[in-house]
Homo-oligomer: A and B are copies of this chain.
Amino acid sequence: MSAIGLAPAAAQEPFRAPEPGDLVGQGPGHHTVTVLGAGPAGLCTAYELGKAGYDVTVLEARFRPGGRVWSIRGGTEETDLDGETQRSTFSEGHFLNMGATRIPQGHVTLDYCRELGVAIQAFPNQNANALVNYTSETPLTKTSMTYRAARADTYGYISELLQKAASRGALDDVLSADDKQALAEFLKDFGDLSSDGRYLGSSRRGYTSEPGAGIDDGTRLPPPPALSDVVRSGIGRNFGFELENDQAMMMYTAVGGMDQIYHAFHRRLGDRVRFGAVVTSMRNVPEGVTVEYTHGGVGRSITSDYVVCTLPPHLVARLRTNLAPDVLAALRAPKAVASGKLGIEYSNRWWETEQRIYGGVSNTDKDIREIMFPFDHFHGDRGIVVAYYSTGKRQEIFEPLSHRQRLAKALAEGAEIHGESYTKNVGPSFSAAWRRIRYSESAWASWSSKSPEYKLLLQPADKIYFAGDYLSHALSWQHGALTSARAAVAAVHARAAGPR
9-residue interface stretch from A58-66, A74-82, A209-217? A209-217
Given contacts A121-B378, A190-B236, A212-B487, 19 further A-B contacts (CB under 8 A): A106-B129, A119-B378, A121-B121, A127-B249, A152-B243, A154-B186, A158-B162, A158-B190, A162-B162, A164-B174, A165-B170, A170-B170, A182-B232, A204-B245, A213-B472, A213-B484, A214-B471, A214-B484, A252-B358
Chain B residue at minimum C-beta to C-beta distance from A239: B190
Contacts A107-B210, A165-B165, A250-B127; A179 near B216 (Cβ below 8 A): no
Q: Does A72 contact B (CB under 8 A)?
A: no
Contacts A129-B250, A162-B158, A211-B473; A122 near B124 (Cβ below 8 A): yes
CB distance from A130 to the nearest CB of B (A): 9
Of the A-B pairs whose beta carbons lie under 8 Å apart in the complex, a sample of 9, sorted by A's number, is A106-B206, A122-B122, A126-B249, A165-B165, A185-B237, A189-B237, A190-B243, A215-B449, A252-B378
- In A161-182, the 8 Å CB interface with B consists of 161-162, 164-166, 168, 170-171, 174-176, 178-179, 182
Q: Mark A130-168, 1 if CB is under 8 A from B, else 0.
A: 000000000000000000100110110010011011101
Q: Are A243 and B106 in contact (CB under 8 A)?
A: no
Of the candidates B165, B250, B252, B458, the one whose C-beta lies within 8 Å of that of A162 is B165
Q: Are A483 and B216 in contact (CB under 8 A)?
A: yes
Chain B residue at minimum C-beta to C-beta distance from A233: B182
- A152→B240 CA distance, assembly (Å): 10
Chain B residue at minimum C-beta to C-beta distance from A235: B186
Q: Are B113 and A357 in contact (CB under 8 A)?
A: no
Q: Are A186 and B379 in contact (CB under 8 A)?
A: no
Q: Does A183 contact B (CB under 8 A)?
A: yes
- A124→B251 CA distance, assembly (Å): 10
Of the candidates B126, B164, B218, B360, the one whose C-beta lies within 8 Å of that of A473 is B218
Q: Are A189 and B240 in contact (CB under 8 A)?
A: yes
Q: Does A474 contact B (CB under 8 A)?
A: yes
- A171→B161 CA distance, assembly (Å): 7
Q: Are B155 and A161 in contact (CB under 8 A)?
A: no
Q: Are A234 and B192 in contact (CB under 8 A)?
A: no
Number of copies of this kind of chain in the complex = 2
Q: Are A204 and B165 in contact (CB under 8 A)?
A: no
Q: Does A335 contact B (CB under 8 A)?
A: no
Q: Are B379 and A449 in contact (CB under 8 A)?
A: no
Of the candidates B128, B183, B455, the one whose C-beta lies within 8 Å of that of A249 is B128
CB distance from A441 to the nearest CB of B (A): 23
Of the candidates B21, B232, B252, B480, the one whose C-beta lies within 8 Å of that of A213 is B480
Q: Mark A455-494, 1 if CB is under 8 A from B, else 0.
A: 1001000000001000111100001100111110000000
Q: Does A248 contact B (CB under 8 A)?
A: yes
Q: Does A105 contact B (CB under 8 A)?
A: yes
- In A336-382, the 8 Å CB interface with B consists of 352-353, 356-360, 375, 378-379
Chain B residue at minimum C-beta to C-beta distance from A349: B114
Q: Are B161 and A158 in contact (CB under 8 A)?
A: no
3 tightest A-B CB contacts, nearest first: A170-B170, A165-B165, A211-B473
Residues on A lying within 8 angstroms of B by beta carbon are 20-21, 105-108, 110, 113-114, 119-122, 124, 126-129, 148, 151-152, 154-155, 158, 161-162, 164-166, 168, 170-171, 174-176, 178-179, 182-183, 185-187, 189-190, 192, 203-207, 209-218, 227-228, 231-234, 236-237, 239-240, 243-245, 248-250, 252, 352-353, 356-360, 375, 378-379, 449, 455, 458, 467, 471-474, 479-480, 483-487
- A217→B474 CA distance, assembly (Å): 9
- A168→B173 CA distance, assembly (Å): 12
Give chain B residues whose Cβ lies under 8 Å from the Cβ of A213: 467, 471-473, 480, 483-487
Chain B residue at minimum C-beta to C-beta distance from A228: B179
CB distance from A122 to the nearest CB of B (A): 4
CB distance from A184 to the nearest CB of B (A): 10
Chain B residue at minimum C-beta to C-beta distance from A164: B171
Contacts A122-B121, A161-B162, A162-B165; A231 near B484 (Cβ below 8 A): no
Give chain B residues whose Cβ lies under 8 Å from the Cβ of A21: 353
Contacts A179-B232, A212-B472; A190 near B240 (Cβ below 8 A): yes
Give chain B residues whose Cβ lies under 8 Å from the Cβ of A114: 352, 379
Q: Are B449 and A240 in contact (CB under 8 A)?
A: no
